[in-house]
Amino acid sequence: MQVERRRAERDRRECGRVPIVLAVRNTVGGRFHLGQSEDIGPAGITLRRPRDLPVLPETPISLTFDLPGLRKTIDVAGLVVTDRRHGGFRRTGIRFVQPSSEQIALLSEFCRRKT
């Protein structure tokens, strides 16, 4: 997959995202970590993660988070798209992999309410 580098990251997305701060439990390479979301959409999420834990693009990641106001926990697989240092943490862009139709509907409804 060739990444278009001439456009800003937010402009390369196929689906929009809304800013939101959520606790996100994530597992990479069998190790559990806690991160914090910056934004979310039906197709992916951006996480703030510890700066000393870099991951390569295309690394599988498992995510678990609660959507406020919907009383639903989302458990979804993802692939790292970008990962870079950003100040005192890492900023990691993740694309969801095969979310269920219910998960897509919940995330779409959540984003609709936030805009």
Check which CATH number belongs to the domain holding 101 and give it.
Answer: 2.40.10.220
Residue 71: inside a domain, yes or no? Answer: yes
DSSP string, 20-72: ---EEEEEETTEEEEEEEEEEETTEEEEEEETT----TT-EEEEEEEETTTTE
Residue 3: inside a domain, yes or no? Answer: no
* Residue 29, Cβ density class (10 Å: 0-12 exposed, 13-18 middle, ≥19 buried): exposed
Domain that holds residue 56: 9-114
**What are the tens digits of pLDDT across the range 46-70?**
999 998 989 999 999 999 999 988 8
Residue 4: inside a domain, yes or no? Answer: no
How many independent structural domains does the chain possess?
Answer: 1
9 pLDDT tier (thresholds 50, 70, 90): low
**What are the tens digits of pLDDT across the range 77-95?**
999 999 999 999 999 999 9
Residue 69: inside a domain, yes or no? Answer: yes
pLDDT at 1: 45
